[in-house]
Structure 1
Amino acid sequence: MADQMRKIVAELPDLTDVSGVSAVMDERVAQGDAAFVADLGIALARTYGASGQPWQCRSALDHAVRLLAVSTGRENVTQALRLFSSAGISSRKLDRRAASLLASSHEAADLAAAFTGHASEELRACLVHELVLRGVAAGEAPGIAAWATSPHWRYHPLAWMPLMLSGMEEGADLPSYSAYGSGHAMPYGPSQGRELARTADAGVPSAQETTTETDVRAMGRAVASWAEESNGRIEARVFQFAAPLNAETVPGVIPTLGLECLRGAGRKTRLSVASCPPARAWRVLFAAASTGGAYGSGSYGAYGRLAAWKSVAALTGCPEDSRAAEVEARVMACDWYAFDADTKWFEQVAWDIGLATLSPDGRRLAVLAATDTD
């Protein structure tokens, strides 16, 4: 171990500020010595273990991971993969994060190294779909296609999704990363410009609630982390109507369903119901799943994509064993609506979702609402 590296490892727990260590790593990468940063990260994990690390070690390791992953160049990719796959550092959670970091900053040609060199199968699976989200046809990309189209990973949950973007996935909000931070869009909040008038005298057919625990779990998959990792609430309901609804009656029906999220909505409390393109609904659910709520980091792109697919499948009433192509066809055939209200249920901070989907026959209406706060 080089003297400088040995000194950093030994003295790190006594530091009150690790910015100097980060600066050393930055300088080494700028000089083309990414191997130093990978070696340092591996040495830190070996010295301080995989759990119970001092905060200084966690901070330095995090910077090493981020720095190597977002620094362009094939050698940086190679060294990042070596670090990610080393003992004491490798984990499924890191694989998800690393795949998002790598895909955000590198060309597919450079990332092909992950499919022949140091990389877990989980990282490869995540990387395939992180690239798909960024418009790469993974089933055709040199160095990637052979692995992505091989049958050996067909039982992996991510293999269920198509290897290219579907029509409903347009406009996915993807995070941007740097060595010192990240950012992402938050496409939540009030609907704008497409408010539908509620017709007071429109006949509302009788309805029966058919919600099951399976429905609740599947419909809420994209927003599950809002409740599990943060302070959020979720309401998922399914209703069957005696007669078909249509675009004119849906806005008037939604307030009559007894939804907890709309309790108190009325003349003095704003309620907006607007038509919503399927791509907009998917975009909101993908953002919720991939980036998480007020707390937690979400599932990142690959599993965020899967969660959004599964939520829209359940909202449209697709059987659990449906193929992705069947789900997409059903999603595009349904009518989608976004709603929001100034009720006490919605936190109205930054994370509010209200979606409803009407089946092609007009008799099944599914509703998903979610809110979170810091």
Structure 2
Amino acid sequence: MTESIEKIVAELPSLKNVTGAWAVTDERLARGDAVFLADLGIALARTYGSSRQVWQYRSVFDHLLRLLATTPGRDNAVQALRLVGSAEVAGRKLDRYVTSLLASGHEVADLTAVFTGQASEELRACLVHELVLRGVVVEETPGIARWVTSPHWSHHPLGRLPVRLSDVESRADFPNYGAHGSSHSMPYGPLESRAPMVIADARVPSVEETTTQAAAGAMAKAVANWAEESNGRIEARLFVFAEPLDAGSVPEALLTLGLECLRGAGKKTELSVTACAPAQVWRVLFAAASSGGAYNSGSYGAYGRLAAWQSMAALAGCPEGAAVSEVEARVRDGTWHVFDADTEWFEQVAWDIGVAALAPGRRDLAVLAATDTD
């Protein structure tokens, strides 16, 4: 059974549940009628888009958008673009969301319409980096290469990111989208088993804190959404040692810095500090930025990539605005650790991050900790 768009729009606020409306959109798309879904979405947005009280609208709109954007087929991708590009719907946050959906559900060839039609520059820029993250060589892809290699978008915030994937980014985690929801892996959180550290008698040189508000904000870019949009808290601090610090002494050094996140950590309180490759840190920061914390959805892939690199740059001691190639070189020359502690500061639910970066020269130590809870 099918229903008219006018009838669905008129009856929507009175519905106790929206499964019937979902079924209509499912059935129409199964018949190949992607235009109906886009028309319905535009009509719903025109009627209810300015009201946040109509939960039925939000549910049905997201369902039909997900159907169009994640069901393979060029017609579906084109109608998803028509929907998000309409005056009733268009917005930067939606562009970020829909490009993540499109990149997860469509062949690259089906997405070239983004670069030939009326899509916004924001949507194009986001899609470029969603594809780059998935290993697509966009500057060699027909239908996309011309836009990617044009200098006209270099002013865009995402324009400073390279259009080829770095080795440091090789383990990005992506959400799994479906019509009824999504899921994503979380490469962080409290360890399932954490043995108390054995604190050695390593010599730790005298140290001075050099944290500034600007530096703390830069280091925290990837996790800022946890505090701004969810229940999270962040500690980001910089320290300079009087003499080079032996990389093996980083665990002991962390306990001397007066970190709030490690208050009470030591011989009796469980603490884990592990040396790791910078790729592991990037993966954690990207996941935090792109997928968000307990009560938000993050910045999605493109801006998640940007935020992860901004945090990595600050942790590695790079000047603001440094090219990613420069950042990557300095990141590789540093020494990276992740840490986890059973302290009251960490929520110990699912969203716990601890990173310590010892810069080349081994005197500058950057620490970033974040936690969130539902």
TM interval, short-chain normalised: over 0.9
Alignment of 1:192-341 (within 5 A): 200-341=200-341
Q: Give structure 1 stretches of 5+ with no counterpart.
A: none
**What residue identity is the alignment partner of 1:55?**
W
1:95 is matched with which residue?
A: 95
Name the residue aligned to 1:8.
8
Residue type of the alignment partner of 1:300:
Y
Cα distance in 2, alignment partners of residues 312 and 234 from structure 1:
16
Q: Hey, what does 1:80 align to over in structure 2?
A: 80
Taking a change above 3 Å as real, the CA distance of residues 208 and 324 of structure 1, as seen in their structure-2 partners, is: same
Which range is displaced more, 50-59 or 305-314?
50-59
Map Cα deviations across residues 292-326 of structure 1 (whole Å, 9 max, x no partner): 11111100010001000000000000000210100
- Provide the residue aligned with 1:127 in structure 2: 127
Tell me the distance in 1 between the aligned counterparts of 2:149 and 2:131: 14
Aligned to 1:172: 172
Distance across 2 between alignment mates of 1:78 and 1:370: 40
- Partner Cα distance (1:318, 1:83) in 2: 41
CA RMSD of aligned residues (A): 1.8
CA deviation map 1:240-280 (0-9, x unaligned): 11111122211211111110000011221011111011000
Task: Tell whether the 8 Å contact from 1:281 to 1:355 is kept in structure 2 after alignment.
Answer: yes
Identity of aligned residues (%): 66
Question: In the alignment, is the contact (CA less than 8 A) between 2:196 and 2:270 conserved in 1?
Answer: no
State the distance in 2 between where 1:7 and 1:192 align: 52
Further displaced range: 119-128 or 196-205: 196-205
Paired residues in the alignment total 373
Do 1:191 and 1:339's aligned partners in 2 also have CA atoms closer than 8 Å? no
Counterpart amino acid of residue 7 in structure 1: K
Deviation at 1:202, TM superposition (A): 1.8
Residue 148 (structure 1) shift: 1.3
1:355 aligned counterpart, secondary structure: strand
- 1:157 aligned partner: 157
Contact 2:194/2:271, CA 8 A, preserved across alignment:
no
Residues 157 and 132 of structure 1: CA distance in aligned 2, closer, same or farther (over 3 Å) = same
Aligned-residue offset at 1:117: 1.1
Residue 189 of structure 1 and its aligned partner are, at CA, apart by 2.5
CA distance in 2, matches of 1:140, 1:193: 46
Evaluate the alpha carbon distance shift between residue 196 and residue 52 of structure 1 in structure 2; reply closer, same or farther with a 3 A threshold.
closer
- Could you list the per-position Cα deviations for residues 32-68 of structure 1 after superposition, in whole angstroms to 9, with x for gaps in the alignment? 1100110111111222343446222222111111110
Q: CA, structure 1 residues 3+191, in 2 after alignment: closer, same or farther (shift >3 Å)?
A: closer
| TM-score, normalised relative to structure 2 | 0.96
Structure 2 counterpart of 1:210, one-letter code: T
C-alpha distance in 2, partners of 1:47/1:154? Answer: 37
* Distance change >3 Å, CA 34–CA 163, structure 1 → 2: same
Gaps of 5+ in 2: none
